[in-house]
Structure 1
Amino acid sequence: MPILCLIRHGESLWNKENRFTGWVDVPLTDEGREQAKKAGEILKSLDIKFDIAYTSLLSRAIETLEIIIRTLGYNIPVIKDISLNERHYGDLQGLNKDKVSEIYGKEQVKLWRRSLKVRPPNGESLEDTQKRTIPFFERAIKGDLELNKNVLVVAHGNSLRSIVSYIENLNEEQILNLEIEPAVPILYDYDIYNKKFYNKRILKI
């Protein structure tokens, strides 16, 4: 039975500086690289052989995946697609989150960051992000699962929130409280015959 593994990239420079990142291409920190290595070690201990991997076009996700693959010790075909990019934070990109909260209030910033439909200024809502991630997920990622392939996806907090909320059919309140931690593998088994995901496992050290 095929396995889907979702992993958010490790800590980036702007994560460390508490800044909105979005589509700005910032690198991993040394801590982020260590987090990626630990994620790879967790997966290696499970003795799962992945058949294909997906990531975004942003270097923090690509490097996280490269470190995981090196740690696993075998080659995996990699597909990079813009559909898996982080949500676009518009005018907030590059700004410190605490300073933005001081200006607009914590509740407004929480809505921009966590809600389904509220867009940051000139940016994407999570619902907007789903409009690109979910069709790609259905066509490519789920398509490989249907072929009985184990699939590894390394992407971003919000592109993965959109996928997890779709897989688990979460309501808006549940989506508001959904967090995806850096470099923590989330595994689902996929039932090819019933076309359902089940047995969710969040693998922390």
Structure 2
Amino acid sequence: MTETTTIRVLIADDQSLVRGALAALLSTERDIEVVAETGIGSDVVELVRTQQVHVALLDIDMPGMSGIEAAGALTSAGLACRSIIVTTFGRPGYLKKALTAGARGFVVKDTPPEQLAETVRRVHVGHRVIDPTLAEESLFTPDSPLTEREIEVARVASTGADTREIAKQLHLTQGTVRNHVSSIIAKTGASNRYEAARNAKEFGWI
């Protein structure tokens, strides 16, 4: 990267205050320009294309598509843009999913401004940047034992939905939901579906 290179950045976060804060922080850097912002994950790929984005900062929890899914979509589309997950959810399971999806960076939102800017620069030139504490924790966190269907059930259960509501939302029978819930409880070492969903979320499995 030469001194005259300007890194074109997209910020995707469903909280407008967070987007504004990140944009304000990065805009103070002479070699970084925020060229696009969105609060909807499914807008990321199109914005990257139209705005010629070099680095995308992606929150995990967004409507339309999660940040991890958006990182995967950028990878699948073959775009040169590199992605960084910037989130309050510093969970080892999310880190593993993000790296598998093709993200080149993973940092938490309380990262110091100068460190975030340096992360953008390093990722832009091809380096991988991971929050060191989270990287260490991930070494001791097991991979998710949940099946794709169990993940879906756990996600709905985490909203407080009962068996009937889960069955309705996922178009399953209540008996099938109970079987999945029993499996999730066993795999997470929980005593009920709400605790199981909470445990799965803490591990970053859902």
TM-score range, shorter chain: 0.3 to 0.5
Compare CA radii of gyration and give the structure with the larger one. 2
The structure carrying a bigger helix percent of its residues is 2
Greater relative CO, 1 or 2 (CA 8 Å, sep 6+): 1
TM-score normalised per structure 2: 0.33
TM-score normalised per structure 1: 0.33
